[in-house]
Structure 1
Amino acid sequence: MANSAGSRKRARQAEKRRQNNASLRSMVRTYVKKVATAIESGDHAAATAAFVAAQPVMDGAVTKGIYNKNQVARKKSRMNAEIKKLAA
């Protein structure tokens, strides 16, 4: 455990950040899973709606530094391509 007052505070802050980041990461995974489920079921309308809901959540996680912007862009691109396949 940390000894000085400053290092104890840093440890508290790090734990708060860790929990917040874990919560955000989990939320993004949930939204992505909803899109994947809708794609699996073959329902284009539901997949599109889920994707529209997931995009701002994913972009928000990038802004907060949870994910890399290129990683999220790649995931969104791949999900969108799958959704477009459903329409065809």
Structure 2
Amino acid sequence: MANIKSAKKRVLTSQVRADRNKAVKSRVKTYIKKVDAAVAANDKEAAQAALPVAIAEISKAASKGIFHKNTAARKVSRITKAVNSL
């Protein structure tokens, strides 16, 4: 464990940030799974309804720096391509 006061604070703040990032990543994965489930079930309406919500969540995560912009673009591209294939 750190002895210096500023190092102790860094440990705490980094843990808070890590937990927040983990929650956002989990949320993004959930929305992507909803789109994938609709695509797997060949439910075009549900997939098209879930797509904009998932894209918005991915974009928010990228703007906060949780995902790199290219990673976000790749994820958006893949789910959009899957929905358009229906």
Q: What interval of TM-score do these two structures reach, taking the shorter chain for normalisation? A: over 0.9
Q: Kindly report structure 1 stretches of 4+ aligned residues shifted beyond 3 Å.
A: none
1:43 maps to a residue whose letter is D
Aligned pair count? Answer: 86
1:25-44 pair list within 5 angstroms? 25-44=25-44
> What displacement does 1:73 show?
1.1
> What displacement does 1:22 show?
0.4
Deviations 1:9-65 (A, max 9, x none): 111000000100000010000000100001000011100111111111100000111
> Please, what TM-score do these two structures have when normalized by structure 1?
0.92
2:50 maps to a residue whose letter is A
> What displacement does 1:71 show?
1.5
- Where structure 1 has 5 or more consecutive residues not aligned to the other structure, the ranges are none
1:47 maps to a residue whose letter is A
> What displacement does 1:85 show?
1.6
Match of 1:67, SS state, is: coil
- What do you get for the CA RMSD once the two structures are aligned? 0.8
Worse-matched range after superposition: 73-82 or 53-62: 73-82
- Where structure 2 has 5 or more consecutive residues not aligned to the other structure, the ranges are none
The corresponding residue for 2:63 is: 63
The corresponding residue for 1:49 is: 49
* Identity rate, percent: 38
2:70 maps to a residue whose letter is N
Match of 2:2, SS state, is: coil
1:37 maps to a residue whose letter is A
